[in-house]
Amino acid sequence: MDTTSSLPRGFLWGAVRAGIKPSGRADLSAIVAPHTATAAALYTTNKIQAAPLLIDRRHLAANGGRVHTVLINAGNANCATGEAGITAAEECCEAAAEAFRCAPQAVFPSSTGIIGVPLPVEKVRAALPALRAAVGDAAEYFASVAAAIMTTDTRPKTAHANVHMDGKQVRIAGIAKGAGMIHPQLAAPHATMLVYLCTDAAAEPPLLQKLLTAAAETSFNRISIDGDTSTNDTVLLLASGASGATLSDSNSSPFAEALSEVCTSLAKQIVADAEGATHLVELNIRGAASDADALRIAKAIAHSPLVKTAWAGSDPNWGRLIAAAGYSGAEVDPARITIRLGDLVICERGGRSANFDEAAAHRYLTQPEFAVDIDLGLGEGACRFWTCDLTREYVSINADYST
């Protein structure tokens, strides 16, 4: 398997300015599979779900798991907008269906931005002719979508992988956005993380769903920026079949591995671009009584303002880590806990390590990426999780009363 920037065949990408983002930047995107693609999707488990997610479920069910056009607007989440929001999403699908010549049910709408403000359908409708003229299959079109779906992101997020299968080249390309309200809790048939994965393998929707669910579990479901699970999180995998290779239960392992790599890369890119963050932190929890306990500890640490602010100051205050483990709900025996920052042992048997070197620990934590390893000494439970620090800049971004 090699990872190059080659794009899956059978897709067109494009983006234009519809005037939804107050900044006036490109904010309306399309991913088009002219011969339609099979699809699998995951949505947020938040019980408040944005209107487009309701439409997405309805359309995938009605259309046999097939998608022709993905229509994505940034700048407005179309969430907590009541019945009017659902009507607005439907009107956008009808307009997109007309522009891209497909059935309305073959349109997969997505929205991201502010919650509780009516979606300006007229702006979407007015921009669709320009959007139809703006789509293409080259790298710059793909890149234009990655840029147009951004909200508080500072940079676009993309990842690629190629797999050789049955003598053919199969390509996977992914686009993601998300820098805040990021603690995806996706469930098989789940942001405001938005992720669009395209491949030119052929696959039936149930197999795609199985592959996507497995890949998301150890990538998007293992990241948290602020602990806030969005109402709009969506991960969509589209398979055009244009490579000529067909995925089956028996031959899908290399594809599954490549898909997992693309998802993990995008998940880490999201955390690395977290609102105001200056450190990408990898948590390795091991020795827990169960994998579920390891995840409980990772989440408690990833959601602790005291831990996250200490990281912002490169402060090796491991007492805050052990306190978070203690209230996580996981089984914990203080006398068995070992904590390492990279290779530096800072806590042994629940107390400060005799080898604790505060200056070295502080230096290690000044790096833009670092790892915190916690061994509970109890069992075989483990998990890997990515999170970030909490900075003054995060507060500034989210406390500004015009956003």
The Cα 383–Cα 222 span in angstroms is 8
With tokens 């046999």, the residue in question is 64
CB 81 within 8 A of CB 91: no
Please choose, out of 93-101, 147-155, 240-248, 330-338, the segment that lies near its own copies by the rule CB under 8 A: 330-338
- Quote the least distance from Cβ 230 to its own copies, whole Å: 7
Q: Where are the beta strands (DSSP E) in 92-249?
A: 107-114, 157-165, 168-177, 186-187, 194-199, 234-239
The single residue among 52, 85, 109, 241 that binds its own copies, judged by CB under 8 A, is 85
Minimum distance of its own copies from residue 284's CB (angstroms): 19
Q: Could you give the CA distance from residue 329 to residue 113 in angstroms, rounded to a whole number?
A: 33
Token pair of 53 as six digits: 């997610």
Nearer to its own copies, 143 or 397 (CB): 397
Of 231 and 246, CB closest to its own copies: 231
323 forms part of the interface with its own copies (CB under 8 A): yes
> How many CB atoms within 10 Å of residue 32?
26
First and final C-alpha spacing in the chain: 43
* Residue 22 within binding range of its own copies, rule CB under 8 A: no
In this complex, which beta carbon is closest to its own copies, that of residue 6 or of residue 45? 45
381 is a contact residue toward its own copies (CB under 8 A) = no
Catalytic residue among 36, 158, 192, 234: 192
Q: Would you count residue 227 as binding its own copies (CB under 8 A)? A: yes
Name the residue among 106, 115, 149 with its Cα closest to residue 16. 149
Please report how close the Cβ of residue 332 comes to its own copies at its closest, in angstroms: 4
Q: Which own/partner contact pairs does 351-355 have at CB distance under 8 Å and 24+ positions apart?
A: 352/318
**Taking CB under 8 A as the rule, does residue 77 contact its own copies?**
yes
DSSP β-bridge partners for residue 246: 202
Count other Cβ atoms within 10 Å, centred on residue 116. 12
Mask of contacts with its own copies, 92-131, x by CB under 8 A? ----------------------xxxxx-------------
Q: Which of 351, 355, 367, 369 binds its own copies (CB under 8 A)?
A: 351
Given the rule CB under 8 A, which of 20-28, 160-168, 212-220, 304-312 is the region that contacts its own copies?
304-312
Closer to its own copies by Cβ: residue 3 or 87? 87
Cα 173 from Cα 190, distance rounded (Å): 20
Q: Is 252 in the site for its own copies (CB under 8 A)?
A: no
Give 213-253 as a DSSP string: HHHHHTTGGGB-SSS---SS-EEEEEE--TTS-B--TTT-H
Determine the interface stretch with its own copies among 39-47, 59-67, 152-160, 215-223 (rule: CB under 8 A). 39-47
Is 4 a residue of the active site? Answer: no
Looking at residues 170 to 199 of the shown chain, list those that interact with its own copies (rule: CB under 8 A): 180-181, 185
Give 33: exposed, middle or buried? Use CB within 10 Å, 0-12, 13-18, 19+: buried
Q: Which is nearer to its own copies, 39 or 119 (CB)?
A: 119
DSSP structural state of residue 314: T
Residue 355 in contact with its own copies, rule: CB under 8 A: no
Q: Which stretch binds its own copies (CB under 8 A): 4-12, 45-53, 288-296, 367-375?
A: 45-53
Query: Could you tell me the two tokens for 329?
Result: 């709900």
Query: Comparing C-alpha atoms, which of 193, 359, 170, 346 is closest to residue 268?
Result: 193
Alpha carbon separation from 303 to 176, 196, 297, 387 (Å, rounded): 22, 26, 10, 9
Distance CA 339, CA 402 (A): 42
Question: What's the min distance (Å) between Cβ of 51 and its own copies?
Answer: 10
| Smallest gap from residue 151 Cβ to its own copies (A) | 13
Among 73, 230, 243, 252, binds its own copies (CB under 8 A): 230
388 binds its own copies (CB under 8 A): no
How does DSSP assign 54-67, residue by residue? HHHHHHHHHTTSEE
Of residues 331 and 357, the one with the C-beta less far from its own copies: 331
Residues serving a catalytic function are 192
Interface residue list for its own copies (CB under 8 A): 44-49, 77, 79-82, 84-85, 114-118, 180-181, 185, 226-231, 303-306, 309-310, 312-315, 317-320, 322-327, 331-332, 334-335, 347, 349-352, 362, 390-392, 394-401, 403
